Amino acid sequence: MGLFNKFQKTRESIETLRHYSNSFFRIVIDEVISGTEAVINGRPTILAGTNNYLGMPQRKECIEAACQAIMEQGTGTTGSRMANGTYSIHVELEQAMSRFLHKKHTIVFTTGYSANLSVLSTVVGPKDIVILDADCHASIYDGCRLGGVQVYRFRHNDMADLGKRIERLSKGGANILIAVEGLYSMLGDRAPLREIVRLKTRYGAYLLVDEAHSLGVLGEKGRGLAEEAGVEDDVDFVIGTFSKSLGSVGGYCSSNHKELELLRFTSRPYVFTASSSPANIAAARKAIEIIEREPELRRRLWENANQLFNRLQEMSFVLGPAPSPIIPVRFQEIPQAFEAWNGLLENGVYVNIVLPPASPDGTALLRCSLSASHSPDQVEKIAKAFKKIKHLA
Ligand code: PMP
C-alpha cells in the first residue's frame, strides 16, 4: 500500500479528467480506413491529430518494402545494434540518411526518444552545459538527466534570453551545447535557427537540432528547418525520428563529427536495447526515397495546412504564430477544451488535446495536424466541425 501512495495525486487527476471526458480514455483505433480516416468508437472519423504528415504508413511501396523485409529477414532482430542486431539494412539506412542529410555520419536508433537519450547522455557530461529551449521534447530533457549534465532553459524562441544565458555561462569555460527543435511539436512554430547559429558561433558552442517534426516537412528537399534556414553546416547534431513523416518507428542522429561513431560503444540507450525491426527499417528507407523524389507531397501538405489555418483564423480562433502542418487551437479553460474536443469527436473529427504541463504556457490546446493525404474536402470538414464548437473557445 505504502509503495503506491505516491499515485494518489495521479488517481485524482485521472478522476477529474474522466469527469470531463470519458472518451479521453477510450480512444482506440478500431479500424484504419486510410491515412486520414479511422473507425473510433464505432464511428468513421477524420484523423486531424496524428504525425502522419506525408501519408507514408499507407504508401504501397513502403508496405511492400516492409513485407519483403519480414519475409526475408523475420519479424525482429532479437538483439542490440552492438551485438546481433545490426543487419545490412540498418547500415544501408545509415548511409542513405547521411547522403540525404549531407552529413558524414549517421547512427540509426530504435526510436527518436532513444536517439535523444543516447546523444545527450553521451556527448555531454556533468562538466558540460546544455542550454535548451523550454519547449523542448521530454526526450531531450531525459537525455540530459541520464548524462547528469548541467541544464539551463531559455524561454521558448526568446533570443534575448538565450543570448543573456550563453553570455553568462560561457564565462565559466565549460563546453556548451544548445538544444532546440526544428518545428515545435505543440505550437508548430520554427526555431529562429539563424540567430541561434549566430550565438553558437559567437560563443564557440555546439548545436543540436531535433527535426522530428520538420524532416520531410520543411526545406526545398525536405531535409528540415536547417535546410530551409540555410544553416545545415552549422548544426553539429541533427536528431530525428522515423515515426512521423516516414511512417515507421526508429530514430537517427547525423553529424559531421567523427566522434559520433563512438556512441556505438558508449551510449547505453544504443547498446542496451534491441534494434529496430527489419520491417521498420525497410519502410523508413523507402519513405526517404519517396521524400527525395516527390516534393509535391510537401506542397500538398502545406496547401492543406494553409487551408485549415486560414479557415480557423477567419473564425477568430486563437492559433499558433503562423500557418504550419501543426495548428494549435488555444482554450483558456480546461473544461471548455474538453467540451470542444468531445464536440469535434461527435462531429467525426479527431484532434489531440494537450493540457498543462504538456502544453507550453498553461493554456489547453487542441492540436490539429495535417497530412498530405487529407483531401481539400476533408480539410473543409475539419473546419466545419470547429465552427460548431466555436462558442467554447
Ligand atoms: N523528439 C520530438 C520533438 C518528438 O516530438 C518526438 C515524438 N513525439 C520524439 C523526439 C520521439 O520520437 P519517437 O516517437 O521516435 O520516440
**Quick check: CB of 241 below 6 Å from ligand 1?**
yes
Q: Specify the residue for cell string 531531450.
A: 140
Q: Specify the residue for cell string 471548455.
A: 336
Cα(169)–Cα(178) distance, rounded to whole angstroms? Answer: 12
Residue among 213, 243, 254, 286 flagged as catalytic: 213
Q: Specify the residue for cell string 569555460.
A: 173
Of ligand 1's listed atoms, the one at least distance from the Cα of 184 is 3
Domain-by-domain residue ranges, the chain?
Answer: 5-58+295-392, 74-293
Q: Pairing state of beta strands 150-154 and 129-133?
A: parallel
Q: Chain centroid to CA 81: how far?
A: 23
**Quick check: CB of 210 below 6 Å from ligand 1?**
yes
Contact 240, 100 (CB under 8 A): no
Determine the pLDDT at residue 1. 65
**Quick check: CB of 222 below 6 Å from ligand 1?**
no
Q: What pTM was estimated for this model as a whole? A: 0.96
Cell of 321: 504564430
Residue among 121, 185, 324, 359 flagged as catalytic: 185
Output the residue whose Cα is nearest ligand 1's atom 12: 112
Type of residue at 314: E
Q: For residue 185, indicate whether it is catalytic.
A: yes
- Other beta carbons less than 10 A from residue 291's beta carbon: 22
- Report the candidate in 90, 88, 94, 82 with the shortest Cα–Cα distance to residue 254: 94
Q: Which residues of the chain have pLDDT under 50?
A: none
Ligand 1 centroid vs 374 CA: distance in angstroms? 22
Determine the pLDDT at residue 224. 98
Q: Specify the residue for cell string 549534465.
A: 149
Q: What is the DSSP letter of 210?
A: E
**Quick check: CB of 36 below 6 Å from ligand 1?**
no
Determine the pLDDT at residue 69. 98
Beta bridge partners of 326: 369
By three-state DSSP, how is residue 20 classified? helix
Ligand 1 centroid vs 179 CA: distance in angstroms? 14
Residue among 103, 244, 286, 374 flagged as catalytic: 244
Q: Chain centroid to CA 249: how far?
A: 12
Q: For residue 213, indicate whether it is catalytic.
A: yes
Ligand 1 centroid vs 112 CA: distance in angstroms? 5
Determine the pLDDT at residue 23. 76
Ligand 1 centroid vs 212 CA: distance in angstroms? 6
E strand or H helix at 152: strand 150-154
- Report the candidate in 83, 121, 61 with the shortest Cα–Cα distance to residue 287: 61
**Quick check: CB of 157 below 6 Å from ligand 1?**
no
**Quick check: CB of 248 below 6 Å from ligand 1?**
no
Determine the pLDDT at residue 380. 98
Ligand 1 centroid vs 173 CA: distance in angstroms? 32
**Quick check: CB of 139 below 6 Å from ligand 1?**
yes
The CATH number, out of the four listed (3.90.1150.10, 3.40.30.10, 1.10.1280.10, 3.20.20.210), of the domain defined by the range 5-58+295-392 = 3.90.1150.10
Upper half-sphere CA count for residue 61 (Cβ side, 13 Å): 11
To test the pocket of ligand 1, the residue of 139, 144, 242, 326 to mutate (highest count of ligand atoms within 8 Å of its CB) is 139
Ligand 1 centroid vs 116 CA: distance in angstroms? 9
Determine the pLDDT at residue 223. 98
**What kind of fold does domain 74-293 have according to CATH?**
Aspartate Aminotransferase; domain 2 (3.40.640)
pLDDT in tens, 175-187: 999 999 999 999 9
